Amino acid sequence: MAELKACKTCGVPSRVGKGHIWNPNGTIVQRQDRDHRMIFFDSDSIDALFTNIESLIGMPIEKMVIESKARATQAYIGSLVKGAKGKLARVVGLERIIRRIVEQGRVLGYGDIQVKEFSWKDSFMVCEIKNPYSLPLFCGDLRGALQAIRKLEGTIEYTEISPGYYSIKDFHQPGATGLEDRLMPRETPLKPGDIKFHRCPVCKTPLEISRFDWDIDKGTITQAGTGIRFAVFGSTGMQVVLDELERELGDTIPATIVEAQRMHASQTMNPRWKKVSREDIRNWLAFQGLGNLVALDEKEGGGYSVRIENPAIPLLLVGTVAALFEFLADKKSEVDWSIAPDGDLSVNVMPAP
C-alpha cells in the first residue's frame, strides 16, 4: 500500500496529530468533532475482557457486542453524513469513503484491512483483516458504518481463514434487532484540567506516542519494551457495549465487568509499576484519554481512595485500580465505586478481609 506520511520530528503518523487533540483535562478528542471523545487504549485487553466476562457468566456475548457496537458506529457515522453530504456519499462517494476508512483504520491500529469485494447494487461488501484490534468491535464498526451510509439494515458474517486472519461479509438483511431505539449514553459536561504534556514541536502530539512502534502495513501500534498492542478508538462505542450487556444480562454485570478487567490487568502488571508515583499514574491515564486523576489518598487500614474527573469507560478504570492495588500490596482487594452527577468517578479499594 502507499506509504502514509509521518511527522518528520517524532515519527508519529501525520493523521494522528492532524486528527486528534490531547487536552489538559485528561481527554482526547477529534479535531474536527470536539464532542467525539477518543482513547489510546490497550487493545490486547478488549477481547481478553470479553473472554473473561463470558467465563464468569457462562454464556457467549459476541453477538451482543457486535450489535451494540454497530448501533454506536451507525449513530456516529450517521451524524457525519446528514443532508446533502449523505446523499452524495450514497450516490457517488461510497468507495472513496470506504478507502478512507480502511486507511484510517490502519493508522489507528485496527489491523491489516483489505476490501476484496464490493457491490453497491447488491448491497454487500467482503473484506479481509489480519490481526484485528478486536474482532467483534471491528465487525460492529463495519456493519454500523455501512448501515449509516446505505440507510439499509445489514448483517455480518465472518470466517477464520487462518489464526488471526478473517474474511468478513456485510450484506443487506431486513429485520430490526431491537437496539435501534436505545438511547446513547448521556454525555456529562467535561471539567477543565491542568495536565501538561511534553509535546512534539511540529505535530503537537505528546512525545510519549513516539515511543510506540507504528506499523501502517500491519495496522498495529505496539508499545516498545512491553509488546502490548494499542489502538485509538471512540470511548462511547465501548461504553455502549458495556451498557447493553447490563441491560440484557442484569444489574450484576457491572461487578462482572470490573472483575473481568481486574483479571486481565493483573496479568499485564510488570516490575516497572512498583516504582510508579501518583504523577506517573495521572500522566498515564491522561495520555490514554481516560481522565484526570485528581485524588489518590491512602486510607486507614492500608487501602486507597481515588477520584478521577472526566473518566472514560469507568468500569474498566475500577478494575484496573483493583489490579494495581493487588500488585503493589500483594494482597487481594475489595473495591467499591460510584459515579457522581457531575461525572466524577470515585473508587475505594481496601485489602479483602
Domain boundaries along the sequence of the chain: 253-351
Q: What is the pLDDT of residue 75?
A: 84
Q: What is the pLDDT of residue 294?
A: 97
What is the grid cell recorded at 157?
458474517
What is the grid cell recorded at 48?
481478553
Confidence at 2, pLDDT banded by 50, 70, 90:
very low
Percentage of the chain modeled with pLDDT above 90: 67
- Residue 261: pLDDT above 90? yes
Contacts of 8 (CB under 8 A, 6+ apart): 202
Q: Whole-angstrom Cα distance, residue 306 to residue 293?
A: 8
What is the grid cell recorded at 184?
446513547
* Overall average pLDDT of the 247-271 stretch: 93
Confidence at 231, pLDDT banded by 50, 70, 90:
very high
Confidence at 339, pLDDT banded by 50, 70, 90:
very high
The conformational region for residue 80 under phi > 0 = left, psi -120 to 50 = alpha, else beta, is alpha
- Residue 90: pLDDT above 80? no
Which carries the bigger pLDDT value, residue 4 or residue 37? Answer: 37
Which carries the bigger pLDDT value, residue 77 or residue 217? Answer: 217
187-200 residue pLDDT tens: 789 999 999 999 99
- Residue 230: pLDDT above 50? yes
Of 17-31, 74-88, 121-135, 155-169, minimum mean pLDDT range: 74-88
Confidence at 323, pLDDT banded by 50, 70, 90:
very high
Q: Whole-angstrom Cα distance, residue 226 to residue 59?
A: 32
Q: Do residues 341 and 68 lie in contact, with contact meaning Cβ atoms separated by under 8 Å?
A: no
Percentage of the chain modeled with pLDDT above 70: 91
Q: Do residues 206 and 198 lie in contact, with contact meaning Cβ atoms separated by under 8 Å?
A: yes
Q: What is the pLDDT of residue 175?
A: 54
Q: Do residues 212 and 204 lie in contact, with contact meaning Cβ atoms separated by under 8 Å?
A: no
Q: What is the pLDDT of residue 64?
A: 92
Q: Do residues 159 and 167 lie in contact, with contact meaning Cβ atoms separated by under 8 Å?
A: yes
* Overall average pLDDT of the 70-90 stretch: 70
Q: Do residues 81 and 92 lie in contact, with contact meaning Cβ atoms separated by under 8 Å?
A: no
- Residue 223: pLDDT above 80? yes
The conformational region for residue 131 under phi > 0 = left, psi -120 to 50 = alpha, else beta, is left
* Overall average pLDDT of the 134-150 stretch: 88
Confidence at 340, pLDDT banded by 50, 70, 90:
very high
Q: Nearest Cα to 229, choosing from 258, 279, 263, 268?
A: 268
What is the grid cell recorded at 91?
450516490
The Cα diameter of the chain in Å comes to 67
Q: What is the pLDDT of residue 86?
A: 54
Confidence at 292, pLDDT banded by 50, 70, 90:
very high
The mean pLDDT of the chain is: 88
Q: Nearest Cα to 325, choosing from 346, 348, 349, 307?
A: 349
* Long-range interactions of 197-203: CB distance < 8 A, separation 24+: 197/22, 197/283, 197/286, 197/287, 199/22, 200/7, 200/9, 200/10, 200/12, 200/17, 201/9, 202/7, 202/8, 202/9, 202/10, 202/17, 203/7, 203/9, 203/10, 203/12, 203/14, 203/16, 203/17, 203/18
Q: Which CATH architecture has domain 253-351?
A: 2-Layer Sandwich (3.30)
